[in-house]
């Protein structure tokens, strides 16, 4: 008896999926492997070694990377915190306050940073800061990051809020909670997974940005991506692979965290 035809199966789709994953992961895996290469030649394998990691933390370029890392993480922390707060307020306005003038325009505004090409945002920000006489530096990077982090923080927060029926807050108000108490005691605790997930995504996006940062950073100020870019202009050196692998690890850990937080939130309800 012939097997029934599976309407969901197409020959080759599995192979293409595997190809897709190989293309996505091969460069990252290879660089991670080579960052442990003992040899100075970046293509010959000379045995397992951590020396490039020591180089990152104590080699000649260590102070530069340390300063860049501090800038990167400080800016990411600040931008993600502010963006998350702003996005939470916006999500409440969007999902819990009925209609008001400018609601549709507000939604468009939230998504605007996703629609304007990065290079255009970069150029526009540079022109803006220079024209108003704002000195480019950490502050300008922070502001620019804050703006493009907002939609990334907004997406999971808004999705979560939409999935929480407002009957919880209605029940709270029915039980004599003021609107502010209903928000603080009921909605906010239920929002935690969405807010955390939004914060982590905003943090990663800020940590990853190169193009806009490169335009608004000002002379002498570096973040990790701009420092790395400056170094690879002279060729890919093994210490860059080590620092890339570290940064890659941070991103993967944060995204995984965000994913599990989001899932935990889903399964709880």
Partner 1 sequence: MAGAAPGGASRSEIYRGNGPRLMLPIWVFIGIFLVMPVVMMAVHSFLTKEFRGGVIWEFTFAAYDQFFFDRGLFGDEPPKIEWTYIGIFWRSIWQAGLATVFSLLIGFPTAWFIATRKPNVRPGWLFLITIPYWVNLLIRTVSMKFLIRDTGPLNEFLLWSGVISEPLSLVNTNFAVQLGLFYSYLPFMVLPVYAAVERYDFSLSEAAADLYSDNWTTLRLVILPVVKPGIVAGCILVFVPSLGAFLAPDLLGGAKTFMIGSLIEEQFKGAAGNWPFGAAAAMILLAIVLGVLLLHAHAQTRVER
Partner 2 sequence: MNRTDIAIDIDRVVNRYDSVTALHDVSMDIREGEFFTLLGPSGCGKTTLLRCIAGFEDVTEGAIRLRGEDIAPLPPHKRPVNTVFQQYALFPHMTVLENVCFGLRRRGWTEMDAEGRAREVLDLVRLGDFAKRRPTQLSGGQQQRVALARSLAPNPEVLLLDEPLSALDLKLRQAVRVELKQIQRETGIAFVFVTHDQEEALTMSDRIAVMSEGYVQQIGTPRDIYEAPQNRFVADFIGETNLLDVEVSAVSGGMPDLTLPGGMALRCPAADSARAGRGHLSVRPERISVAAAAEDTLPATVVDHVYLGTDIHLHAKLSDGEPILVRIQNAESSAIPATGSMLGLRIEAGAARLLVD
Return the residues of window 45-84 that contact partner 1 according to CB under 8 A: none
**Using the rule CB under 8 A, is 190 a contact of partner 2?**
yes
Residue 198 CB coordination number (10 Å): 31
Binding to partner 1, residues 11-50 (CB under 8 A): 12-14, 16-17, 19-21, 23-28, 30-31, 34, 42-43
Single out the residue of 3, 47, 97, 268 in contact with partner 1 (rule: CB under 8 A).
Answer: 97
Q: Which of 165, 184, 188, 269 binds partner 1 (CB under 8 A)?
A: 165
| Stretch near partner 1 under the rule CB under 8 A, chosen from 51-59, 61-69, 126-134, 189-197 | 126-134
Among 39, 58, 119, 184, contact with partner 1 (rule: CB under 8 A): 119
Residue 241 binds which entry of partner 1, partner 2, none, with Cβ cut-offs from 5 to 8 Å by kind? Answer: partner 1
When the beta carbons of 55 and 87 are compared against partner 1, the nearer one is 87
Site for partner 1 in 128-157 (CB under 8 A): 128, 130-131, 143-144, 146-147, 150
The site for partner 2, by CB under 8 A, has a size of 21
């Amino acid at each position: 008896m012939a097997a029934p035809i599976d309407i969901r199966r197409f020959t080759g789709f599995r192979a293409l999926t595997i190809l897709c994953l190989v293309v996505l992961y091969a460069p990252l895996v290879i660089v991670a492997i080579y960052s442990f290469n003992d040899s100075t030649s970046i293509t010959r394998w000379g045995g397992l070694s951590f020396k490039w990691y020591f180089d990152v933390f104590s080699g000649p370029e260590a102070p530069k990377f340390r300063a860049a890392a501090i800038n990167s993480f400080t800016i990411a922390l600040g931008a993600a915190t502010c963006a998350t707060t702003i996005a939470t307020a916006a999500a409440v306005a969007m999902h819990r306050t009925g209609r008001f003038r400018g609601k549709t325009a507000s939604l468009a505004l939230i998504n605007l940073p996703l629609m304007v090409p990065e290079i255009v945002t970069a150029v526009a920000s540079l022109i803006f800061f220079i024209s108003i006489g704002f000195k480019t530096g950490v502050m300008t990077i922070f502001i620019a990051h804050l703006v493009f982090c907002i939609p990334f923080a907004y997406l999971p927060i808004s999705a979560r809020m939409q999935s929480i029926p407002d009957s919880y807050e209605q029940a709270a108000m029915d039980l004599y909670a003021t609107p502010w108490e209903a928000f603080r005691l009921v909605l906010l605790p239920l929002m935690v997974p969405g807010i955390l997930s939004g914060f982590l995504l905003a943090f990663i996006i800020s940590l990853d940005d190169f193009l806009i940062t490169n335009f608004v950073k000002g002379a002498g100020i570096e973040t990790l991506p701009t420092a790395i870019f400056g170094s690879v202009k002279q060729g890919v050196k093994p210490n860059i692979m080590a620092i890339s692998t570290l940064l890659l690890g941070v991103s993967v850990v944060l995204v995984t965290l965000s994913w599990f937080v989001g899932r935990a939130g889903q399964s709880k309800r």
